[in-house]
Amino acid sequence: MPRLPLPDFLQGPTQAPILDVRAPVEYAQGHIPGAISFPLFSDEERARIGTTYKQMSQEKAVLLGLDFFGPRMSQMVKQAQKLAPHKQVRVHCWRGGMRSGAVLWLLELAGFQVHLLNKGYKDYRHWALAQFAQPRSLVVLGGLTGSGKTDVLQALAAAQQPVLDLEHLATHKGSAFGSIGLPAQPTQEQFENNLAAVLATLHAEVPTWVEDESRTIGSVHVPPPLFAQLHTAPLLTLEIPRQVRVRKLAEEYGRHDPAALAASVLKIRKRLGGLATKEALAAIGEDDMEKMVSLVLDYYDRTYSHGLSERPVVRVVSDTADPLINAELVQRAALKANFLTFSQPIGHGS
């Protein structure tokens, strides 16, 4: 069987979709970004084959697999024709073994050109994990909650600056309120896969902007080798007046379900204290978002300021949360501190 090494497989023909022939539960746990689930066996069938292999023999397991595979061959070809009208596909399983080989045989019989991943998804995972240890030039953007750091990152990206948006990849904004209004988070494995795919598009030597994050972002964590680099990289912090931050957050969270806001307050009730929690919940009930935000900020401001105590910081003072203005301010501060190269022109978000 012709097999492609991982780089060639990933850069393969754009008209050739990646078909992941592992079981649905394997795909759900983690897959190559952009790959389509094209299971050879269902979860139950895969489990039965594995049991047969362990308790009886490989021969019996293969025969059982053929019993499952045979009746659905026609259906799989028809599905592949819909997914790949150009009749080119990229196929992989876990290790590049029997499952991907069987699908390759079937689709080639049906007239497809099939590109098979050598060593399978297991090789992709080795590659993905290796991305996090690669030394990178990073510029970390910090600031108290409500400073608009994510908005500034988006403005920097629009100005053609390299940006790594960890919260976007994690589908979470990092705080107890971070999941409100967002889709479910990816699994840890999928977060790592998506993160590795983005890192692979960035030049390691060119300074890349990234938001200051804790080890965990909701239910996922930043891979330790990358987090270690974040923690030692140059740090700029936006200093925005408290009232500006309160208004910004009140406007953002005022659009969301009060029950979700109350649930988020209750997540941190031990840290807020009984009285502050009671007052914050009452403020939500009275639709006084600025009061609720102000009470919660007392906790988050203390926590973040404590985390900065042992890190050298370049402070960038602004009286607004306007992301275009602040993007220019942090770029100028980074250039002055020699965090950026002069080949990275200051953009204006246009």
| Tokens matching residue 51 | 């049991």
* Catalytic site residue from 64, 93, 210, 333: 93
- Active-site residue, 93 included: yes
Question: What one-letter code names the amino acid at 72?
Answer: R
| Tokens matching residue 24 | 């649905």
178 contact partners, CB below 8 Å, separation of at least 6: 167, 172, 217, 218
**169 and 264 Cβ atoms separated by less than 8 Å:** no
State the SS3 of 196-220.
HHHHCCCCCCCCEEEECCCCEECCE
Rg (CA), the chain: 25
| Tokens matching residue 292 | 């609720």
**193 and 31 Cβ atoms separated by less than 8 Å:** yes
Q: What are phi and psi of 108, to 5 degrees?
A: -65, -35
**Enzyme catalytic residues:** 93
